[in-house]
């Protein structure tokens, strides 16, 4: 039997209407399609009506059947939040590194000394797939409590063929058992594993010749990502890996210009990357290149906060006409959080993005960054019914209140999953 849900008379419905074909860039990020006193009707897992409450009542009558009503007055409704960049699946944790960093150690130096990503790699290699599923599942539960309904998840703590596959298979299992939908990215090029320390090119070859083909053959990822950074993968190595991924149908993403400006943004534009991530050090030319190639800048202000660094230049990017998405970067070293609302606060307060721009970045633009904007990211007829009700009477309140969870109800595929 068809299930009908009537979300009645929210103070505001923030629709993000009209950006399913292309991400919102530059000034378009402020046009978020707010309906005052709006209602939404869901039929099964899809949105079938959005508009004024009066019209909603008429539409409901035409359906001629029982509907479950969710009273939304005093609340706002937004599309389900989308996190387009996480390192969700890993084992172990790295509290000690926080203490080291508080005493002045640098994130990248900890990695160079065999800690950081390599420490999580050791723990992840030791874990079974079932243990990875169990630990990541608890993180997903928290994501859901914070209003997140879709998450991208990268591999990159295995760094052997088998251990990378184990991480990606764990993500596949999680996608099938958890309410949150997952999109997978292969990131075998996350660090040079210890056993290849003296021969990084041999590891690059392993990624290209063995890992990418098997990941593609088993259909375990949609995207391929590389940590293009001084002391990690060079621009040349990154390009080779991303081009190899493309040949196997994996769309390129890139961790670019995070710590040292080495031309990661320019490379993202050159290879036609769907997104370039971090970009703390991106040059003016790099930003311009992203605008011209239509590459989405995925910004991670929670990471800048946790690493105590200056965040990316979001305003310069918006002025240049770049489309921005934001994300937690959830990972054990540089951003151990599942709170998109916190990251949204940080985007506003640290990068001076307006509340409207922040919402566009966490919904429709994030959907574009993971290739799902035809299905999710906005409240439009025909789209999947992934929605969040917040305890707020206008969308600005989401950034005015900070470090609190205003999530009231989360709806995933038309079903209430958090209440
Ligand atoms: O996006 N910068 C590289 N990768 C992750 C951090 C991973 C880790 O420290 O475990 C990031 O910040
Ligand atoms: Fe990351």
> What DSSP string describes 19-53?
-SSS---GGGGG---EEEEEEEEEETTEEEEEEEH
Does ligand 1 have an atom closer than 6 angstroms to the CB of 306?
no
The residue whose CA has the least distance to atom 9 of ligand 1 is: 333
pTM above 0.95, yes or no: yes
CATH of the domain at 309: 3.20.20.140
Q: Near ion ligand 2, which residues have CB within 5 Å?
A: 329
Question: What pLDDT shows up at residue 116?
Answer: 97
Based on the domain organization, do 165 and 238 belong to the same domain? yes
Q: What is the ipTM of this complex?
A: 0.98
Based on the domain organization, do 353 and 208 belong to the same domain? yes
Q: What is the pLDDT along the chain (419 residues), one digit of tens a residue?
A: 899 999 999 999 999 999 999 999 999 999 999 999 999 999 999 999 999 999 999 999 999 888 999 999 999 999 999 999 999 999 999 999 999 999 999 999 999 999 999 999 999 999 999 999 999 999 999 999 999 999 999 999 999 999 999 999 999 999 999 999 999 999 999 999 999 999 999 999 999 999 999 999 999 999 999 999 999 999 999 999 999 999 999 999 999 999 999 999 999 999 999 999 999 999 999 999 999 999 999 999 999 999 999 999 999 999 999 999 999 999 999 999 999 999 999 999 999 999 999 999 999 999 999 999 999 999 999 999 999 999 999 999 999 999 999 999 999 999 999 99
CB 366 within 8 A of CB 84: yes
Question: What pLDDT shows up at residue 1?
Answer: 80
Based on the domain organization, do 120 and 200 belong to the same domain? yes
Based on the domain organization, do 387 and 303 belong to the same domain? no
The CA-to-CA distance between both ends of the chain, in Å, stands at 24
CATH of the domain at 389: 2.30.40.10
Q: H or E element: which one contains 284?
A: helix 284-293
Based on the domain organization, do 365 and 384 belong to the same domain? no
The residue whose CA has the least distance to atom 3 of ligand 1 is: 227
Domain extent at residue 13: 4-79+377-418
Based on the domain organization, do 248 and 340 belong to the same domain? yes
Rounded CA separation 335/306 (Å)? 6
**Token pair for residue 98?**
């926080």
Does ligand 1 have an atom closer than 6 angstroms to the CB of 333?
yes
Does ligand 1 have an atom closer than 6 angstroms to the CB of 332?
yes
Question: What pLDDT shows up at residue 65?
Answer: 80
CB 117 within 8 A of CB 156: yes
Q: Which of 348, 369, 390 is the last residue of a domain?
A: 369
Distance 45 CA to ligand 2 centre (A): 31
CB 325 within 8 A of CB 297: yes
Based on the domain organization, do 87 and 71 belong to the same domain? no
- The closest alpha carbon to 94, from 321, 332, 277, 294, belongs to 332
Based on the domain organization, do 127 and 232 belong to the same domain? yes
Which ligand sits nearest to residue 153's alpha carbon? Answer: 2
Question: How many structural domains is the chain composed of?
Answer: 2
Question: What pLDDT shows up at residue 64?
Answer: 85
């Amino acid at each position: 039997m068809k299930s009908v849900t009537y979300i009645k008379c929210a103070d505001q419905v923030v629709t993000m209407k009209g950006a399913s074909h292309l991400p919102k860039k530059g000034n378009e990020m402020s046009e978020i399609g707010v309906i005052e006193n709006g209602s939404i009707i869901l039929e099964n897992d899809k949105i079938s009506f959005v508009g004024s409450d009066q019209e909603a009542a008429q539409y409901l009558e035409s359906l001629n059947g029982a509907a479950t009503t969710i009273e939304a007055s005093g609340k706002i409704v937004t599309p389900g939040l989308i996190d387009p960049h996480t390192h969700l699946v890993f084992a172990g944790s790295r509290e000690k590194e926080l203490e080291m960093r508080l005493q002045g150690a640098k994130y990248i130096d900890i990695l160079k000394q065999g800690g950081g990503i390599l420490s999580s790699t050791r723990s992840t290699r030791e874990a079974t797939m079932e243990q990875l599923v169990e630990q990541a599942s608890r993180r997903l539960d928290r994501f859901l409590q914070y209003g997140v309904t879709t998450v991208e998840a990268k591999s990159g703590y295995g760094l052997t063929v088998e251990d990378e596959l184990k991480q990606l298979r764990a993500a596949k299992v999680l996608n099938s058992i958890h309410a949150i939908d997952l999109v997978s990215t292969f990131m075998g090029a996350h660090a040079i594993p210890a056993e290849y320390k003296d021969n990084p090119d041999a590891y690059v070859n392993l990624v290209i010749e063995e890992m990418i083909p098997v990941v593609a053959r088993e259909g375990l990822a949609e995207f391929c990502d590389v940590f293009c950074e001084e002391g990690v993968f060079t621009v040349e190595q990154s390009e080779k890996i991303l081009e190899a991924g493309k040949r196997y149908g994996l769309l390129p993403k890139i961790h670019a210009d995070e710590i040292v400006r080495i031309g990661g943004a320019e490379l993202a534009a050159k290879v036609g990357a769907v997104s370039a991530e971090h970009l703390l050090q991106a040059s003016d030319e790099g930003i311009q290149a992203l605008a011209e190639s239509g590459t989405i800048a995925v910004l991670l202000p929670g990471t800048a906060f946790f690493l105590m660094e200056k965040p990316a230049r979001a305003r310069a990017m918006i002025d240049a006409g770049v489309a921005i998405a934001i994300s937690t970067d959830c990972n054990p070293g540089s951003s151990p959080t599942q709170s998109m609302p916190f990251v949204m606060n940080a985007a506003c307060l640290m990068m001076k993005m307006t509340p409207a721009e922040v919402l566009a970045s966490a919904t429709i633009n994030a959907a574009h960054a993971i290739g799902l904007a035809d299905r999710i990211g906005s409240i439009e007829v025909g789209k999947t019914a992934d929605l969040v009700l917040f305890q707020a009477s206008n969308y600005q309140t989401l950034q005015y209140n900070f470090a609190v969870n205003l999530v009231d109800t989360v709806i995933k595929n038309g079903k209430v999953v958090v209440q």
